Chain A
């Protein structure tokens, strides 16, 4: 039997969480070191999976399958293809950098890291699931710790409200999807939750058209689709830094990815029927999200709404159902994940020093934390789709896909690029350039070396992918081809 590398990746965080919980709460350093060791281990394994995936062969690789509840047709079935291998890597990266920048958490770090790692297991689990039941299982594991993380360690002003809102939204969404999934299970008559078998179930057109909106929209709530995006900025703002990074960087991809894997891949006919309408919703996401971001005064809300805008592009890429659109969406999931993790890390670092996120009150932070300023600028350039950075590599094919199917939507959506540029420039100018306000002089200091390492890792990924897209694009392309086969070559 080959080494079960995916299972090791999935269960490393939860095992680490158990070890951390066994440590006495006062041994904070040991807790942190354990967390970092586990995160590094998971990151290295996910890098290994990413680079040893055979792009030429394509398809699902590193497959593991164990029957779990044969009576119900449930098995533990894991594997990666070109679409989710980058997402596994993304999770590894965000987990590693998230631990680095959470080093300073002093309020019960033991419980914090334990919950964070349970969340990570859920995320890894969803990404590698090839079984519908297992996917839901991990999906709920990923959502629930979020509630505790936000309501205990979050921003005092809004944490109870935001945690409640986020959790309820996501539970409702997943329940709606679950209903659709059960409908598939019973209608297929195969008696299995195995997605590879369900792909071939041959659901009738009427069935697909009826259930697609439930399944897709239920998951897309977590992807931040308009008009169900409302939980996301509130949740981002209330969450502590590492959780925001996880949340925007990985969790929103969880929703988008599940919408793709369960919605589009299992119900392709339904997708074809509904997508012309769904693309309109995503257009609202893209343009309106950018606009709302541009009028915020709270640094973290700006980034929160920018995520709504960028996730809109991912879903828009899905909605084209074309090769370029899906390719771009796949790359955008990774690129946005890294970028937004970087953004929230920066926001957290500024807030830790300034104790305010009011943009008009900030200024001159370049002088005290130059590395943070450069990292934010790099993230900003990615965000505005500047060529040479990963955002361009991702957004360009999405737009090409939209051109192929709905030309005028491409034209309208492009407005968001200028809006994004304007708010990014405004923040860079207000927060990092200019003069340091008197109230901060002498109080703010540079970030520590761990924070810098985290920022450098994230920045290097964004630039590397932008300059040399071949490092990821062929892999995603192989994944896209599998989806296109299900869509009947459309």
Chain B
């Protein structure tokens, strides 16, 4: 047990690699063996993160379970891991969603072995970002996560659909979407890469904890420019990289394509965890490393957040493709996370700022649950009907009552119905941001109106209205495996909605510690 506790974070981080190796060694033809082995192995990180959660002491105001080994010695970069309340929450979210996503992938037919290996590598990349306390290591995992996601979309994405590109050539939509995802994110990370190198050169270390003090205490001139200018440029380099990942309007255009074309489980992870990487970057790096710049530009960030909320919801309302509708809803919900962050950046240290940040982190967790759930439910109905067009559905409630109930519940969770998780976190963000940005918060609430509208629209077009006769006898009810996937998500939404203290306590200590 001591060994486990001493190396807990390494175990969480690398059990997915172990799983990938095991799957790699299984024979290619035994697809059900591969599926079950992957599913069972994906519980290893989850078990370790539950052990982590239980042993985590929320009253200790420091990073815990720290491990530090030299990795790239000449650059003073080390394999430095540690968790606080924020990363702990995100690790739990990741390790929880991965088994569910793998279970949701049981319907995949083609090349299941490579699929599962890529999935585990994706989990490695995401966990690495949340666990790293070294800027170089953070970047390593940040970029590495792109690769498996690219192939998941490119190879297992939806097979229908074409897109016209420059010159009038038509290419498969998944090729287009995966290329856009990759290049967009890589180009966004370019600024992050350059700024990381620059920080390393200037500070002589990549250790995030040391950077908090060293980088902030710099003064004078750098590269012939005043330090303030350099920091402002670096601030925007970081911000744009993270804003693309979140995504914040107007950097969101890769998201609807990527989500729509990704396989169901890919969308679950993409919306559930990958978007959180961007928000996590703001919390772990942007706010502590650039407090002055963040405060100075908080208004701009807040404005973009509000625009994300409003436009995200509005665009979502305008979709006729069910999956695209859910995809745009992510822009809308992540807007609240960014609004909370912007408010905290502006008024760091105040009670309002703390509330807003608590809300933002909890919203990250909640959105992870609800968006994964929504994408899964879209996938369930798509597998049966082979259409995502809302107009092709209609009146399905009597045919699939259980599915209908689950869809209703999850949609309400996404809407922010009191009693479910989304309400708590959005309320906290709004409560915290209101005294700081009245106008923005008021506008954001207006955006909530559209949120209600698009959710009701989707429910109406799928479940209610005149029954589309062609589905009678063809549409089967949600099966037991699929119910197993969605149930944990629903339970957690409900628990957080009714009794959020268990998770907010952990988050709150971390927020207090950082700011």
A contact set with B: CB distance below 8 Å: 323-324, 327, 381, 384, 386-388, 392-393, 396-397, 399-400, 403-404, 407, 410-411, 414-415, 417-418, 421-422, 425, 429, 433, 469-470, 473-474, 477
Partner of A324 from B73, B75, B140, B144 at Cβ < 8 Å: B75
Q: List 16 A-B contacts (CB under 8 A).
A: A387-B144, A388-B144, A392-B140, A396-B197, A397-B75, A403-B197, A404-B201, A407-B198, A407-B223, A410-B198, A414-B193, A417-B190, A421-B183, A425-B179, A429-B175, A473-B74
Q: Which residue of chain A has its CB nearest to the CB of B224?
A: A407
- Which A residues are in CB contact (< 8 Å) with B155? 433
- In the complex the two chains form, what is the Cα distance from A396 to B190 in whole Å? 12
| Contact in complex: B154, A393 (CB < 8 Å) | no
Q: Do residues B141 and A387 form an inter-chain contact, with CB atoms below 8 A?
A: yes
- B154 to A422, Cβ gap below 8 A? no
A381–chain B nearest beta-carbon distance, Å: 6
B514 beta carbon closer than 8 Å to chain A: no
Apart from A324-B74, A324-B75, 19 more pairs, CB < 8 Å: A324-B201, A381-B147, A384-B186, A387-B139, A387-B143, A392-B140, A400-B201, A403-B201, A410-B194, A411-B194, A417-B186, A418-B187, A421-B182, A422-B183, A425-B150, A425-B179, A429-B179, A469-B72, A474-B73
**Alpha-carbon distance A477/B140, docked complex (angstroms):** 21
B136 in the interface (beta carbon within 8 A): yes
CB distance from B56 to the nearest CB of A (A): 28
- In the complex, the chain A residue whose C-beta lies closest to that of B137 is A387
- Residues in B neighbouring A393, C-beta threshold 8 A: 72
Closest-by-CB residue of B relative to A408 is B223
> Looking at the complex, which one of B74, B147, B198 makes contact with A397 (CB distance below 8 Å)?
B74
Contacts of B141 in A (CB 8 A): 387
Q: Do A403 and B193 touch across chains, with their CB atoms under 8 A apart?
A: no
Q: Does the CB pair A403–B187 fall under 8 Å? A: no
- How many B residues have CB within 8 A of the partner chain? 31
Select from chain B the residue with minimum beta-carbon distance to A411: B194
Q: Number of contacts between A and B (CB, 8 Å)?
A: 79
Q: A407-B223, A473-B73 are in contact. Are A433 and B154 (CB under 8 A)?
A: yes
B194–A386 CB distance below 8 A = no
Question: Which of chain B's residues have a CB closer than 8 A to the CB of A384?
Answer: 186
CB-defined contacts of B186 to chain A, threshold 8 Å: 384, 417-418, 421
Question: In this assembly, does B71 line the interface, its C-beta being within 8 Å of a C-beta of chain A?
Answer: yes
Determine the distance from Cα of A72 to Cα of B179 in the docked complex, in whole angstroms: 61
* Bound-complex Cα distance A397 to B190 (A): 15
**Is B218 interfacial (CB-CB < 8 Å)?**
no
The 7 A-B residue pairs with the shortest CB-CB distance in the complex, in nearest-first order: A387-B140, A403-B201, A407-B223, A388-B144, A387-B143, A399-B197, A400-B197
A415 surroundings in chain B (CB, below 8 A)? 190
* B201 to A, closest residue via Cβ: A403
Cα–Cα distance between A414 and B192 once the two chains are bound (Å): 11
Q: How far is the CA of A400 from the CA of B74 in the complex (A)?
A: 12
Q: B56-99: contact bitstring with A at CB < 8 Å (1 yes, 0 no)?
A: 00000000000000111111000000000000000000000000
Contacts of B74 in A (CB 8 A): 323-324, 327, 397, 473-474, 477
Q: How far is the CB of B403 from chain A (nearest CB, A)?
A: 34
Question: Quick one: closest A residue to B72, CB to CB?
Answer: A469
Which residue of chain B is the closest to A406 with respect to CB atoms? B223
CB distance from B402 to the nearest CB of A (A): 38
Which residues, 172 to 192 on B, are CB-close (under 8 Å) to A?
175, 179, 182-183, 186-187, 190
Q: Chain B residues near A417 (CB, 8 Å)?
A: 186, 190, 193
- B142 cross-chain contacts in A, Cβ below 8 A: 387
Q: Which of B143, B175, B190 contacts A418 (CB 8 A)?
A: B190
Do B147 and A425 touch across chains, with their CB atoms under 8 A apart? Answer: no
Closest residue to A404 on the B side, CB-wise?
B201
Q: Tell me if B200 counts as interface (CB < 8 A to partner A).
A: yes
